[in-house]
Amino acid sequence: MSSDKLDGVDEKSSGQVQVDAKSAFSSTGDQESQIVHLDIRQANLKLDKTGLPLVPQPSDDASDPLNFPQWLKIAILLQVSLLALLGPLNQATVNPAFVPLAAHFKISTVVASYQTTIAIAFAGIGSFVWVPLANTYGRRPLLLFTTLIAAASSLGSGKALTWSQLIATRVLNGLGTSSFFTLGAGMVSDTFFLHERGRAMGVFTVFLTNSAHIAPIPGGFLGQYVSYRWCYYLPAILDLTMFVVMFFCLPETLYLRGSTPVVTDKPILRRMKLWGLRPEGKHLKGSDFLQQFIMFKYPTVLLTAFYYSVTFTFSSILPAVTSATLFRRLYKFNASQTGLALGLGTLVGSTLGELLGGIVVDRSMYLSRKGKKDGSIVPEVRLQGIWVGAILQPIGLLIWGFCIRYKTPYIGPTMGFGIMCFAIQIISTVLYSYNTDCYKPQTPEIAQVMNFGRQIVGMTTGFWAIAMGDKIGYQFMAITLALVSLVTFIPVVLFMFHGKTIRDRMGVPSYNLSL
């Protein structure tokens, strides 16, 4: 398969566009985004269907994931997106069933929420082990292994006879599912070009965000009409199903740029192996487990991840962990009614947000590059697409809080968290795409920072949300959280205008440059 015929690029469009090779793909600055100064010199660039250089440039190796046929890229995207959906699904399906769970273990519903909190916390920690292993031995074997861990631990949660047994299995479940968020984002970055990445990341994040919203729907019915234990059995069954699908359909996407091409007439089948695909010269070192913390020192990653973590916690996790208590208290809802109200409201909001988010960020990048003679890339262009989300997120919070405080019909708080989820989908799509554009080779580590922040900030919600609302009133709680959201948004505004200067001053990470 010829790589210059993929993605709508034919011989005529790829042509003989000659540029100065050094300035085209410099290893400094924005890494892959250094396509500048189109001088008629040495290297032939492959172009997309609009005539702009493909970023990153695909190799001539048929095993290069960038050269995979488009149908396979979409299949990979759907598989890792479904896996991302299963992460929060493992953790959140039981949320509407806190009442029967609490009754069985003779604890309060607030204490019952701690088992979700524990799973969320360890889902933020486990990826620090999986990412270095995956960067050496491959994404595919690690995803298969951790999917089995998730399935076994979820099944164990359903079988738990004591509270301590349940907590132990939830720890394992968090560790297993932690790879779903980080390695999946890495596989999206491995296979899609820059001009496709916004929409691809948007699909990935809409599955990730919507998982916690879909989970309460079956969870509510299972908790009410069958048993809370089936809120754990269902994710276990889905995990095992996904394991089988990936075993036969998910190829390895880890690929070192510049590696020696492998001569084979079945490049895709070769990438289905479970071992033997370790990049040449790549060996696991103890320093690999420390190296991944380097991304925390880059302000554009750390501060956007903090804003994302705060808004995701307030917009997605807060409704998830409070609705069982509040809807039962205010509207006398049972588990299935709570699940439907929570699930449908947030699902509609997130889906509409993705329809806007992914298209806008890709279109803005295209117009920015098209307006420049050299087709150069400024990742900060993506950040302009965040404004709608940043404005609507605190508005949704206020609607939710005031409707809870003044006991409006249930449609009031449902609309509130629907608006919040619309906003957080835009925010997450923009920030994932922006950071990936800035540091593409470190995409798994970036996803790791964002996942760690989301999980660690989010895991605290069960400890303070109900207590804070009851103490100061849910309207004042909403005002406080809305102000926190706005304050944490300030650095994002700064990056819109000075992000490139800050990144140039910080330099680029010195590892994974060939990924």
Q: Which of 95, 214, 201 is nearest to 425 (CA)?
A: 201
Report whether pLDDT(273) > 70: yes
Q: Where are the domains of the chain?
A: 7-45, 69-257+288-506
| Residue 349 near residue 418 (C-beta atoms within 8 A) | yes
pTM of the model: 0.75
Is the pLDDT higher at 109 or at 43? 109
Whether residue 29 has pLDDT greater than 70 = no
Helix orientation angle between 139-159 and 70-92, rounded to the nearest 10 degrees = 30
Number of continuous H segments (helices) and E segments (strands) in the chain: 22, 2
For 454, the enclosing helix (H) or strand (E) is helix 443-459
Q: Pick the more confident residue, 337 or 279.
A: 337
Q: Which two tokens stand for residue 473?
A: 């009133």
pLDDT above 80 for 412: yes
Residue 484: pLDDT over 70 = yes
Q: Residue 235 has what pLDDT?
A: 96
Question: Would you state the pLDDT for residue 19?
Answer: 35
Helix 461-472 to helix 318-331 angle (10° resolution) is 40
Q: Is the pLDDT higher at 298 or at 336?
A: 298
Q: Are 257 and 279 in contact (CB under 8 A)?
A: no
Q: Which helix (H) or strand (E) holds 17?
A: strand 17-19
**Coil, strand or helix: which one is 19?**
strand
Within 10 Å of residue 486's Cβ, how many Cβ atoms?
A: 13
Q: Cα dist. 307→259, 382, 391, 412, 453 in Å?
A: 37, 16, 13, 26, 9
Token pair 């609490």 in the structure block, residue: 102
pLDDT of residue 364: 67
Res. 70: pLDDT tops 90: yes
Distance CA 98, CA 417 (A): 20
Do 57 and 186 meet the contact criterion of CB atoms below 8 Å apart?
A: no
Do 328 and 338 meet the contact criterion of CB atoms below 8 Å apart?
yes
pLDDT score recorded for residue 256 = 82
Domain 69-257+288-506, classified CATH 1.20.1250.20, yes or no: yes
Q: What is the mean pLDDT of residues 410-434?
A: 89
Q: At what angle do helices 411-438 and 299-312 cross, to 10 degrees?
A: 170
Question: What would the pLDDT profile of 457-483 be if each residue is shown by its tens digit?
Answer: 887 887 899 999 999 999 999 999 999
The whole-number pLDDT of residue 421 equals: 86
Encode pLDDT of 223-252 as tens digits. Answer: 889 999 999 999 999 999 999 999 999 999
Helical (H) or strand (E) element with 484: helix 474-506
pLDDT in the model for residue 20: 36
Q: What is the rounded average pLDDT of the residues 191-202?
A: 83
Which one is predicted more confidently, 135 or 163?
Answer: 163
Structure confidence at residue 367 (pLDDT): 65
**Token reading at 10:** 């034919």
Q: What pLDDT is stored for residue 14 in this prediction? A: 38
The predicted pLDDT at position 59 comes to 85
* Dihedral pair phi/psi, residue 378, rounded to 5°: -120, 105
- Contact between 250 and 191 (Cβ < 8 Å): no
Average pLDDT, rounded, for the chain: 83
pLDDT attached to residue 506: 92
Beta strands in 42-148 (DSSP E): 43-45
Amino acid at 450: M
More reliable by pLDDT, 141 or 357: 141
pLDDT over threshold 80, residue 380:
yes
Helices (H), 192-298: 194-214, 216-225, 230-249, 267-270, 288-291
Q: Where are the alpha helices (H) located in 250-317, listed in sequence order?
A: 267-270, 288-291, 299-312
pLDDT at site 84: 93
pLDDT at 300: 94
pLDDT of residue 328: 86
User: Which of 329, 331, 336 shows the shortest CA–CA distance to 225?
Assistant: 336
**What band does 263 get if pLDDT is binned at 50, 70 and 90?**
confident
Stronger pLDDT, 33 or 78, i.e. the higher one: 78
> Smallest Cα–Cα separation from 312: which of 401, 203, 389?
389
What is the token pair recorded at 50?
């609009």
Residue 157: partners with Cβ closer than 8 Å, 6 or more residues away: 115, 166, 169, 170, 173, 232
pLDDT more than 90, % of the chain:
39
pLDDT-derived band at 376 (thresholds 50, 70, 90) equals low
Of 363 and 153, the one with more pLDDT: 153
Name the nearest CA neighbour of 240 among 171, 176, 170.
176
